């Protein structure tokens, strides 16, 4: 089957959300002008959907139909073949006076003749007025398939059933509820599937487009989860230290911790907004209430024990390396004794370091500050909530999303990987002078895995 560009016209009465629909389908909030008033779109505007640099679909946004009843009256007065719709439309387009009188309608009908299919957008809050039925009658003259898209169906004043019934009465059975400000990938998919069912020859094009969209959606979701996991690791492992006897230093370090985590959160929010192609104005943030508690390391915490066990292991490795050098220097005649002694010495050093960490801290008179569990949970929930909202936000929505102010995370305890992060200051990019090893990447993967189901349940 040959691959050609599918041309879709988005038509309908004025102020029904045509431009909003195009914005949501293109994920482009900069497209056109969206306002709750008529006549915002005054010319036909075209935009492309494609993969890479290849255009697959062209979407034509059109000015609203405003005077269908009068146009129908005019058409009824014209001579000629009554049942040849395109011919009747051509007569209208050829008449300069009629073109002036029915300016918007002429533009829309000309567009309909040039495209493969039309999406007739309906504001489902509107009653089924005769003028809307007149619009459908006029559009039918263009002999192009039409899909009725019911917008604002999530609104309490929606008259979806009434509309579906009325559309069926005029023979328009291909209808779809598609709320332009509430994006739903499943509905978007259904729309393209309906297009495919009406236009066989574009089956390949639509299949490719749907596959690309799904891939894009999965990639975006994966990247968003990774961005959140990065933030949580950075926040959990973030530390500041102060001398116990220095109160002003404590205040300074608390402020430093708060600023660092808040900026880091902001960076994450920006990443999520960018990923879903929204702007800063789409999110109204609240300052993160960062409790200034000191996070105590519980020496019996399983994560802490495991951590120190691993540390002892890595020190043993280092000891083994040093021992091997000794073995070389003896020409191998020590037969690995150096390696063995090095291993044991290294393990001992590691264990001492683990157990001694807090002791050293206590003896040296320093104390440690970290983000406490409650703040960490709220931080996590805020990002998860934002992600949930962004995945369902249409690109025509004007109301900014509000940051969650209360923790409603389903999980009762912090994931163990975050508790582990607390023992790894080098995992946080907010701690200057430290760079994480490869264990952070593994922790990141685990955290992403943990967040995946959290982010899908409302």
Partner 1 sequence: MAGLNENRISVDDWLLTETVRHQEERAGRCRDDEPALALARAGRRELSSRLVIRARALPGARAIATDVRRIRLWMRRGSGLLTLLGLLAGWLAARASTSDRHVDLLLASVALLGLPTLMLLLWLGLVIWSLRRPQSPSLAGHLLVSGLSRLAPRLLTGPQAADTARAGLDLLRGRFGRWYLSILSHLFWLAYATGAIVTLLVLFSIAQYDLSWGTTLLSDQTVSRMIHYLAAAPAQLGLIPPADAAWIATGREGGLVGSQRAEWARLLLAMVVLYGAGPRLVAGLLSATLAWRAARGLSLDRRQPGYLRLVPLLQPDLSPSHTLGQAPGARADLPLRQARNRQGVVVLVGIELERSERDWPPILGDIDAVALGRADRRDQRRALIEALSNQHDKPGVLIVLCSLLRTPDAGIEQFVNQLAEAAGSALILVLDEGDELQRRGGNLASRQADWEGLARRVGAHCLALDLASLNPALSESRPQGADRLARLIDQARAPA
Instruction: Tell which positions 47-76 bind partner 1, by CB under 8 A.
Output: 47-50, 52-55, 58, 63-64, 66-70, 72-73
- Which stretch in 7-15, 193-201, 376-384, 405-413 sits in contact with partner 1 by CB under 8 A? 7-15
| Closest CB to partner 1 among residues 142, 436 | 436
Q: Tokens standing for 392?
A: 């369902």
- Which stretch in 155-163, 202-210, 245-253, 299-307 sits in contact with partner 1 by CB under 8 A? 155-163
Is 434 one of the binding residues for partner 1 (CB under 8 A)?
yes
| Closest CB to partner 1 among residues 204, 426 | 426
| Closest CB to partner 1 among residues 140, 223 | 223
Question: Least Å distance between CB 253 and partner 1?
Answer: 19
Q: Tokens standing for 276?
A: 């879903």
| Closest CB to partner 1 among residues 272, 367 | 272
- Among residues 207, 293, 317, 400, the one that binds partner 1 under rule CB under 8 A: 317
Q: What string of DSSP letters covers 327-363?
A: HHHTTTTTTTHHHHHHHHHHHHHHHHHHHHHHHHHHH
| Closest CB to partner 1 among residues 64, 85 | 64
Q: Tokens standing for 230?
A: 């990065």
- Which stretch in 13-21, 90-98, 167-175, 386-394 sits in contact with partner 1 by CB under 8 A? 13-21
| Closest CB to partner 1 among residues 36, 412 | 36
- Among residues 176, 182, 212, 324, the one that binds partner 1 under rule CB under 8 A: 324
CB atoms within 10 A of CB 373: 17
- Among residues 332, 356, 365, 453, the one that binds partner 1 under rule CB under 8 A: 332
- Which stretch in 34-42, 304-312, 389-397, 412-420 sits in contact with partner 1 by CB under 8 A? 34-42
Question: Least Å distance between CB 350 and partner 1?
Answer: 13
Is 36 one of the binding residues for partner 1 (CB under 8 A)?
yes
| 247/321 Cα distance (integer angstroms) | 44
Is 270 one of the binding residues for partner 1 (CB under 8 A)?
yes
- Among residues 74, 86, 93, 131, the one that binds partner 1 under rule CB under 8 A: 131
- Among residues 79, 186, 300, 333, the one that binds partner 1 under rule CB under 8 A: 333
The residues, ordered by sequence, that sit 6+ positions from 382 with a Cβ below 8 Å of its Cβ are 265, 288, 403, 404
Query: Residue 14 gets which letter from DSSP?
Result: T
| 415/268 Cα distance (integer angstroms) | 19
- Among residues 81, 96, 97, 157, the one that binds partner 1 under rule CB under 8 A: 157
Query: Residue 410 gets which letter from DSSP?
Result: S
Radius of gyration of the chain (CA): 32
Is 287 one of the binding residues for partner 1 (CB under 8 A)?
no
Question: Least Å distance between CB 165 and partner 1?
Answer: 18
- What is the CA angle 180-186-187, rounded to 5? 40
| Closest CB to partner 1 among residues 28, 416 | 28
| 374/369 Cα distance (integer angstroms) | 14
Residue 60's φ and ψ, nearest 5 degrees, are -110, 115
* Site residues (CB under 8 A) for partner 1, limited to 228-267: 230, 234, 263-264, 266-267
From the list 170, 152, 168, the residue with the least C-alpha distance to 160 is: 152
Task: Convert 108-130 to b/e letters by CB count within 10 Å (16 or more is b).
Answer: bbbbbbebbbbbbbbbbbbeeee
Q: How many residues bind partner 1 (CB under 8 A)?
A: 90
Question: Least Å distance between CB 31 and partner 1?
Answer: 6
317 CB-contact burial (10 Å; exposed 0-12 / middle 13-18 / buried 19+): middle
Question: Least Å distance between CB 244 and partner 1?
Answer: 27
Binding mask 90-129 for partner 1 (x = CB under 8 A): -------------xx--x-----------------xxx-x
Sign of the Cα torsion 113, 16, 31, 268 reads negative
Order of strands, edge to edge, in the sheet holding 175-177? 54-61, 6-12, 117-123, 146-151, 175-177
- Among residues 137, 182, 198, 223, the one that binds partner 1 under rule CB under 8 A: 223
């Amino acid at each position: 089957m040959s691959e050609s560009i599918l041309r879709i016209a988005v038509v309908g009465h004025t102020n029904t959300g045509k431009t909003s629909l195009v914005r949501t389908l293109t994920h482009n909030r900069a497209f056109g002008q969206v306002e709750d008033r008529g006549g915002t779109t005054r010319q036909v505007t075209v935009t492309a959907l494609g993969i890479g640099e290849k255009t697959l679909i062209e979407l034509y946004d059109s000015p609203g139909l405003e005077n269908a009843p009068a146009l129908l009256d005019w058409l009824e007065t014209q001579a000629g073949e009554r049942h040849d719709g395109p011919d009747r439309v051509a007569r209208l387009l050829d008449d300069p006076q009629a073109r002036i009188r029915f300016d918007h309608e002429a533009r829309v009908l000309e567009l309909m003749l040039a495209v493969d299919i039309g999406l007739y957008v309906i504001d489902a809050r509107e009653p089924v007025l005769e003028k809307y039925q007149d619009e459908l009658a006029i559009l039918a003259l263009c002999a192009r398939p039409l899909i009725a898209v019911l917008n604002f169906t999530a609104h309490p004043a929606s008259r979806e059933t009434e509309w579906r019934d009325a559309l069926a009465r005029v023979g328009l059975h291909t209808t779809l509820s598609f709320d332009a400000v509430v994006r739903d990938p499943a509905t978007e998919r259904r729309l393209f599937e309906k297009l495919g069912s009406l236009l066989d020859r574009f089956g390949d094009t639509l299949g490719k487009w749907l596959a690309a969209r799904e891939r894009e959606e999965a990639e975006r979701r994966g990247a968003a989860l990774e961005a959140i996991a990065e933030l949580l690791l950075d926040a959990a492992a973030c530390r500041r230290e102060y001398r116990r006897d220095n109160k002003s230093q404590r205040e300074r370090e608390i402020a430093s911790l708060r600023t660092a985590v808040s900026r880091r959160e902001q960076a994450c929010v920006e990443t999520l907004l960018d990923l879903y192609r929204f702007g800063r104005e789409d999110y109204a943030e609240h300052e993160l209430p960062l409790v200034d508690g000191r996070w105590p390391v519980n020496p019996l915490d399983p994560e802490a024990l495991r951590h120190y066990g691993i540390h002892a292991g890595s020190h043993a490795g280092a000891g083994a390396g040093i021992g091997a050098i000794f073995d070389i220097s003896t020409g191998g005649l020590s037969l690995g004794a150096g390696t063995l002694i090095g291993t044991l010495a290294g393990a001992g050093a590691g264990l001492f370091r683990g157990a001694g960490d807090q002791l050293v801290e206590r003896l040296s008179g320093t104390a440690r500050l970290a983000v406490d569990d409650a703040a960490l949970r709220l931080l996590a929930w805020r990002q998860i909530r934002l992600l949930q909202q962004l995945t369902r936000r249409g690109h025509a929505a004007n109301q900014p999303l509000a940051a969650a102010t209360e923790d409603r995370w389903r999980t009762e305890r912090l994931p163990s990987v975050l508790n582990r992060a607390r023992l790894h200051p080098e995992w946080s990019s907010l701690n200057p002078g430290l760079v994480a090893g490869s264990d952070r990447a593994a922790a990141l993967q685990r955290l992403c895995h943990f967040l995946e189901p959290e982010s899908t349940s409302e």
